[in-house]
Structure 1
Amino acid sequence: MLKNYFKIALRGFRRHKLFTFINIIGLSIGISAALVIYLIVHFDFTFNQFDGNTKSIYRVVSNYTFAGEPAYNSGVCAPLTLAIKNEVPGVEKSAPFFTLFESRVLVPGKGNAETKLKKETGIMLADARYFDLFPYKWLAGNAKTSLNTPYQVVLTSERAEKYFPKMPYANILGKEIVYEDSIRTTVTGIVETPKQNTDFVFTDFVSYSTGLASNQLKDNFQMTQWGNTTSASQLFIKLKDGASEAGITKLLTGLIKKYNPPKPEDKGSTHEFGLQKLDDIHFDQRYYAFDGARTANRSTLYGLLVIAAFLLLLGCINFINLTTAQASQRAKEIGIRKTMGSKRGQLIAQFMSETFLVTLFAVIISVALAPLILKLFKDFIPAGITIDLLAQPNLILFLILLTVLVSVLSGFYPALVLSDYKPVTVLKNQAASNSSKTRNSWLRKSLTVTQFVIAQFFIMATILVSKQIYYALHKDLGFKKDAIVNISTPFKSLSTDKQQVFLNRVRQVPQIQLISVGGAAPSSGNTNSSTMEYIDGKKEVKTEVELKFGDENYIKVYNIKLLAGRNIAPADTGRAFIINNTYAKVLGFNNPNAAISKQLKYNDKLYEIVGVAADFHQKSLKAAIKPLSIMQPYKNKWNNRTFHIQLKPQTAGGNEWKAAIASFETIWKDIYTEDDFEYNFFDENIAKFYTAEQHTSQLLTWATGLSIFISCLGLLGLAIYTTGQRTKEIGVRKVLGASVAQIVTLLSTELIWLIVLAFVLVTPLAYYAMNKWMEDFADRTTISWWIFALSGGAMLTAALCTLSFQTVKAAIANPVRSLRSE
């Protein structure tokens, strides 16, 4: 029976090649999008799925408020670990660790066979508690003894093979590895590199006790300091059965209040501990995950799922429209089958098998296209996403479910319609009753309107996102961003004279216009803030203020405008600074000149305001401009490690900037022999603020193009069907004197009105959605009327071009051929 169904289906495909092609292409596009988006969403939602009960595992995080402004840190103060063990009864297990970020690694060998690595990541201090909470497969050594004493290290299999190529794991035990030139460790274990998706990208596990034994690490480790929090010091806990998250959070916050009680000068500031679920680490962008780990966005993933659903829906609508439109052509076939004894259930099975075959062909095409699509979007698809049916059984299950779902969505209604025809009426050339025709007609119109609502929504969204990105990249941010290069000194060289030597030599490069030394650029992802206090004799104004550090050339390099006062000078270190106009207004000075010479209390010292600068954006346009001060940096400190280099204008077609960068690199290699040369153009860093929006724009552009293409394919199919049904009518009208333009208008008017109706329906919906998206930006472009007009015009133009292929052809046809049989 099934074999017969498929034979009949294939014969039908051959008879209606064009409609079959349109259906397969429409479904292929939707299924391809669904397949690729499934790979992305499945990849991100399967992070940190360790074996065992992970629902009760949490990361302890630090939550702050400074003058009402929230701040978040993924780390905790180191003494918390011991206090939890003694004072928080609801915790079953705890696992502290300390990350070392980038580190120099030396693997000694015989003669000249030693291996030197400059910037290794994934290095942490941990002990047996970490491996008790997060199970790893041990290939050599064991979890209980491998990290018991100082200067021991456990490696992942991947890192072991990098340090000791082709050496058996058992032979690696006992080998020596030196970190940061002086931390000499012995390999005591090898664990298998995790195969699952995980943010726990650690590869070198140095024993936790090494942090106290090593003079180099002891100062950073700060095991007894309750007042120091760094994201390097992290703590994971597992709750006992029945312990509540809220109860444990309350006990943890009680510990910080007990051992580090707030001081009078901390008025308006708070410090609390919180619990972050293991599943949330990959998605919560408020907290730093781990060195090298990528944070995903749940909203973006859900948005991708919506795009996939829309594209699938468009393909299904095409199938339903074209299949029901062709119903009259199959009426006699259905009548004969029913007369010969076929039951309605058998006819439904026949039509569903046809739909299944079309969907199956579309799925096969989609699987073939998937690697190409992944390659096309590789710039913003997470690394590690691949398609391999043999190695991904979950993908096979997804494709099976998708095939069944699409087959049912596309084929069930047409199968009901076709199988409902009465043999008596269809064999008298009356394919269906007027009510049935009307019902099917209204369904096709409704589905067509739905298609164009989706397509026009994508067009409007694409235009607005592109407009906002253009606005962000071209807006005057309050500073110069072109032709400025940032280079940062290695931390280990801050206390040496190398920085001054580098500065003196760079100044001799002929392409240099001006150079400044300080901290972060005016707009950057790094934030350093502190509480400052102003007392005017009547009231106390305490404000959280962002700090920027730069010498006297800082505001000159970035062309920051001074509204009042003077620039900072070298003698101002530790005694004066410039504030921005926003901070001046917070202090009550509407006239910037009134703020000059006033004093602010910072770090228990009084500082003088010597200048007021015009406001500039410290971060992306998503963030509002905040109170800010610019201070002279302290020599040989972290806030004095970045060179801000303004280059001279480049001649047309010249390579002066390239020559300047080459000179910087040569000087760097002469001075910082052990460190790689790295630089950034400031305007490129600004553009990186909007990487997510640019990716969104690209995805929307593709979704828009595909939705228009699918909708126009369906429109073309309906136009072909309509003109075919009205061939004789067109012939009669031409004989009676109708012009080509009149006939084209007659054939196109109904479908054009459907597009206009879709525009009317989608406009308020799109406006609401755009407005919600724009709420993320503190400074944003306007939602202009021309966005909607351009969208409607573009969709109408595409539809008219599509319809013209068939309507013009039908209008210019010789009426003699269509009327010959009459």
Structure 2
Amino acid sequence: MFRNYFKTAWRNLIKNKINSAINITGLAIGLACFLLIALYVADEMSYDHFYPNKERIYRVNSDLRFGGENMRMAQTSDMMGPLLKKDYPQVEQYTRIYTNDGSRLIKRGDDYINEEEVASVDSTFFDVFQLPVISGDIRHALDAPNTVVLTATAAEKYFGNKDALGKSIQVKYGASVRPFKITAIVKDIPANSHFHFDFFFSMKNVDYNWGAVTSHNFYTYLLLKKGTDYKAFEKNFPDYIKKHVVPYASKYMSINSIEEFEGAGNKISYSLMPLTDIHLHSDRTSEISPGGNIQYIYIFSAVALFILIIACINFMNLTTARSAVRAREVGIRKVLGTERRQLVLQFLLESVLMVVLALALAVVIDFFAINAFNNLAAKQLKIASLLSPRFIIILVLLPVVVGIFSGSYPAFFLSGFKPIEVLKGKLRMGVKSGSFRNVLVVFQFATSIILIIATIVIYRQLHYIQTKNIGFTKDQVLVVKNTGSLNSNAEAFKNEVLKLPGVKMGTFSGYLPVSDAFRGDNTYSTEAVMTSENGFSMQNWNVDYDYISTLGMQIIKGRDFSRDYGEDSTGIIVNEAAAKFLGTNDPVGKSVYTSDIDGNVEKYHVIGVVKNFNYESLRSSIGPLCLLLKPSPYTASFKINASDVSGLISRIKSIWGKLAPGMPFSYRFLDDAFNDMYKAESRAGTIAMLFSALAIFIACLGLFGLAMFVVEQRTKEIGIRKVLGASNTGIMQLLSKDFIKLVFIAFVIAAPAGWFVMNRWLQDFAYRTNITWWTFALAGGSALMIALFTVSFQSVKAAVANPVKSLRIE
């Protein structure tokens, strides 16, 4: 019996070639999109799941508010891990990661390579993060100073096929070179990890003011004992604060209790974040590497589901639209004794067979599209992942689930025909007779309009980001990195570059107003004795005399640093946000106080106010910041105005080679660094646009097929109308108006839904564009034009047809 069903199903597919091609193409594209997004989502959801103890590893996050400035950090103090392990038996082990030293210059042959994937870690790091070991005693690999653990890739890079264990790498520290012994080699960290290091240096080499309980510069991870509820463990943090933080803070500020501190509107709290949540759920500043966004997972998952549903709706619409063709078959089979359940099974098997063919085509499409999608999404997805156990299950279930879902309505619809009415020709078809089919078309276009709205809003927000006045000049600013390796030749390098044609001015700093640059903050007060009421936290950046002018910032009160004023060594320039904290519109001449690492009070006086500039992503509001005149020759920035940029860079590189032989020359443009902060949004916008176009294309396939069958069913009516004098334009309007009504209804549904979804998305940005009325008008107009264009082909064909031929059909 089943063999006969399949033979019949195959014959129907071959017989109705156009209908089958439209159905299979739409389903294939929908399934291809579904599988691609499923691979993407599965990869995003798999981050850090490869660690054996993943369910017991947690990172400590810090939430601070001091003087009204909120800080949500992924770092804690250097003492938090050791103190928690000492005080609380639930902590099996801790480890810390320190990255503030930045990249390292490592010697290979006669030259140095700038390695950025480096970190200093505790000797306990590999107890918590159990990476596969290739060689060496990993448990004690970093017990001693001047030791390092390498990944397999790093070992091969510096030693080729030779065994690197026990050998040393030469690392540049200022003007000196220090050897680090390789004590172990581990396998490369998988791509789906929230950190990617190739060099793990011993924490014992970090030059740091150890014991500063209120300084937050270390990523701290805890390995909790089995059975420990991390939410219950978090209740210990208030006790930790009272026991350790308050006594330490009282050394440099007047504070008697945490209640007094919080009573002044301040806050300090800690929480645990599961390791596997960090990539998608963390919204903390200064993450080790840029994370994902769970919102995009929800959005892309919904898009994948909707595209698949749109493809299924096409099948439903086209199958029920062709019901007149199959009606006689159903009537005759019923007269001959075929039961309804047999007909339902027949039609469902036809549906499943079509989905199987579409799925095979979808896999072929993904095979050719995977590389382009990887470039677009910045991923390393492999089509072979579809052969993993969980995807094999999906591939087996998809034809059944999709086949039954898309084929159930047509199956019950077709099998429900009454044989007497069918055989007498009383069956009425068309757009107006298919209420449920109209609902499905409305759903298709409502979804398409929402996707169009989403794409427009995302691109408007990106344009807003790129064109907003951010308070500094990011265009034509060349940033030369790692100028600290120039040592005493740093100033000579700057002066030589400034002599080149096309270079207007230059500055040295360790701080730039882009999120991947180094950051530093400190606590300040308006009086010599810091209290909960007069203290506040503020970014402090060390700059030189030319920083503000080179980056095009604007002094709105007071003055810039000047070589004509000797007292500028104790002067600071604050931004407008900091001026508000000082409680005056004109803080010039006011004094602020802070403490050095030894607790000695330092006094600074405000000499100027710089207009607020965005130094983080526009997701964050501008916080208090001050500029200090202190040497910081780590990065050189040059304002250029050259027609031959590549030639200028070549000449700068030549100067570098003379002053720093063997040192790598690395540069980038500030606007590129700025745009990198919004790569995730840019990728999301491009992906949204791509899948919106595919969703619309699939919907149009269905609409094209539906229009084709509607025209077929009204052939006689059109012929009579033309004989009675109807114009071609009138015929086209007659056939198009029903579809226009459906698009209008879809727009009424989609507009508020699109506004709600995208308004929620924009809330993540402190600075955002508005959703204007023309966004909806453009989305609705686009959907209408697409629908009319799709239907017009069949409408024109019907309108220009010879009415004699149309009437001769009967």
| Alignment TM-score, normalising by the size of structure 2 | 0.89
1:762 aligns with 2:763: no
Deviates more, 1:294-303 or 1:135-144: 135-144
Spell out, residue by residue over 1:169-205, the C-alpha distance to the aligned partner (whole angstroms, 9 max, x if none). Answer: xx66544455554244254x55444668434544555
1:303 aligns with 2:282: no
**In the alignment, what sits opposite 1:328?**
324
Is the alpha carbon distance of 1:720 and 1:783 closer, same or farther for their aligned partners in structure 2, counting shifts above 3 Å? Answer: same
Contact 1:73 1:230 in 2 (8 A): no
Contact 1:468 1:780 in 2 (8 A): yes
Is the alpha carbon distance of 1:66 and 1:729 closer, same or farther for their aligned partners in structure 2, counting shifts above 3 Å? Answer: same
Contact 2:483 2:633 in 1 (8 A): no
**In the alignment, what sits opposite 2:274?**
277
Is the alpha carbon distance of 1:484 and 1:151 closer, same or farther for their aligned partners in structure 2, counting shifts above 3 Å? Answer: closer
1:57 aligns with 2:52: no
* Alpha-carbon distance, 1:809 to partner: 0.8
- Give the Cα–Cα distance (whole angstroms) in 1 for the partners of residues 515 and 134 of structure 2: 44
1:238 aligns with 2:235: no
- Give the Cα–Cα distance (whole angstroms) in 1 for the partners of residues 700 and 739 of structure 2: 11
- Give the Cα–Cα distance (whole angstroms) in 2 for the partners of residues 270 and 711 of structure 1: 53
**In the alignment, what sits opposite 2:648?**
660
After TM superposition, the runs of 4+ consecutive aligned structure 1 residues lying more than 6 A away are 437-440
| Residue type of the alignment partner of 1:529 | D
1:102 aligns with 2:93: no
**In the alignment, what sits opposite 1:21?**
21
Spell out, residue by residue over 1:631-658, the C-alpha distance to the aligned partner (whole angstroms, 9 max, x if none). Answer: 32x12xxx4433221113x4xxx42x22
Residue 452 of structure 1 aligns to a residue in which SS? helix
**In the alignment, what sits opposite 1:559?**
552
Residues 290-689 of structure 1: pairs in structure 2 closer than 5 A: 293-388=289-384, 392-431=388-427, 441-491=434-484, 496-522=487-513, 524-526=515-517, 527-534=519-526, 542-570=535-563, 571-590=566-585, 594-603=586-595, 604-632=601-629, 634-635=630-631, 639-648=632-641, 650=642, 654-655=643-644, 657-689=645-677
- Give the Cα–Cα distance (whole angstroms) in 1 for the partners of residues 622 and 470 of structure 2: 10
- Give the Cα–Cα distance (whole angstroms) in 1 for the partners of residues 544 and 378 of structure 2: 40
Residue 480 of structure 2 aligns to a residue in which SS? strand
| Residue type of the alignment partner of 2:37 | I
| Residue type of the alignment partner of 1:230 | N
Counterpart among 798, 802, 810 of residue 814 in structure 1: 802
**In the alignment, what sits opposite 1:259?**
244
Spell out, residue by residue over 1:411-442, the C-alpha distance to the aligned partner (whole angstroms, 9 max, x if none). Answer: 1111111112233332222347x9xx999611
**In the alignment, what sits opposite 1:84?**
84
Contact 1:744 1:811 in 2 (8 A): yes
Contact 2:9 2:350 in 1 (8 A): yes
Spell out, residue by residue over 1:667-713, the C-alpha distance to the aligned partner (whole angstroms, 9 max, x if none). Answer: 12222334321222222222223222221221221122112212222
Counterpart among 701, 707, 724 of residue 695 in structure 2: 707
1:740 aligns with 2:737: no
- Structure 1: 5+ residue runs without aligned partners? none
Deviates more, 1:32-41 or 1:190-199: 190-199
* Alpha-carbon distance, 1:410 to partner: 0.7
* Alpha-carbon distance, 1:309 to partner: 0.9
**In the alignment, what sits opposite 1:41?**
41
Is the alpha carbon distance of 1:518 and 1:163 closer, same or farther for their aligned partners in structure 2, counting shifts above 3 Å? Answer: closer
Q: Which fold has the larger relative contact order, with Cα–Cα distance below 8 Å and residues 6 or more apart in sequence?
A: 2
Is the alpha carbon distance of 1:556 and 1:219 closer, same or farther for their aligned partners in structure 2, counting shifts above 3 Å? Answer: closer
Residue 773 of structure 1 aligns to a residue in which SS? helix
* Alpha-carbon distance, 1:755 to partner: 0.8
Is the alpha carbon distance of 1:149 and 1:471 closer, same or farther for their aligned partners in structure 2, counting shifts above 3 Å? Answer: closer
* Alpha-carbon distance, 1:275 to partner: 1.7
Spell out, residue by residue over 1:22-43, the C-alpha distance to the aligned partner (whole angstroms, 9 max, x if none). Answer: 1112112211111111111111
| Alignment TM-score, normalising by the size of structure 1 | 0.87
| Residue type of the alignment partner of 2:799 | A
Spell out, residue by residue over 1:353-390, the C-alpha distance to the aligned partner (whole angstroms, 9 max, x if none). Answer: 21112211221121111133332233342432111168
Spell out, residue by residue over 1:135-158, the C-alpha distance to the aligned partner (whole angstroms, 9 max, x if none). Answer: 444454555566666666555444
* Alpha-carbon distance, 1:339 to partner: 2.6
Q: CA RMSD in A?
A: 3.2
Residue 497 of structure 1 aligns to a residue in which SS? helix
Residue 677 of structure 1 aligns to a residue in which SS? coil
* Alpha-carbon distance, 1:504 to partner: 1.8
Contact 1:50 1:135 in 2 (8 A): no
Spell out, residue by residue over 1:189-239, the C-alpha distance to the aligned partner (whole angstroms, 9 max, x if none). Answer: 554446684345445556x5xx44xxxx1534x6655454423x5333223
- Give the Cα–Cα distance (whole angstroms) in 2 for the partners of residues 625 and 27 of structure 1: 48
* Alpha-carbon distance, 1:771 to partner: 2.0
- Give the Cα–Cα distance (whole angstroms) in 1 for the partners of residues 189 and 8 of structure 2: 51
Residue 595 of structure 1 aligns to a residue in which SS? coil
Spell out, residue by residue over 1:292-333, the C-alpha distance to the aligned partner (whole angstroms, 9 max, x if none). Answer: x55221111111101111111111111111111111210111
Is the alpha carbon distance of 1:177 and 1:518 closer, same or farther for their aligned partners in structure 2, counting shifts above 3 Å? Answer: closer
Spell out, residue by residue over 1:250-290, the C-alpha distance to the aligned partner (whole angstroms, 9 max, x if none). Answer: 43553454234222357565544432212112224444788
**In the alignment, what sits opposite 2:31?**
31
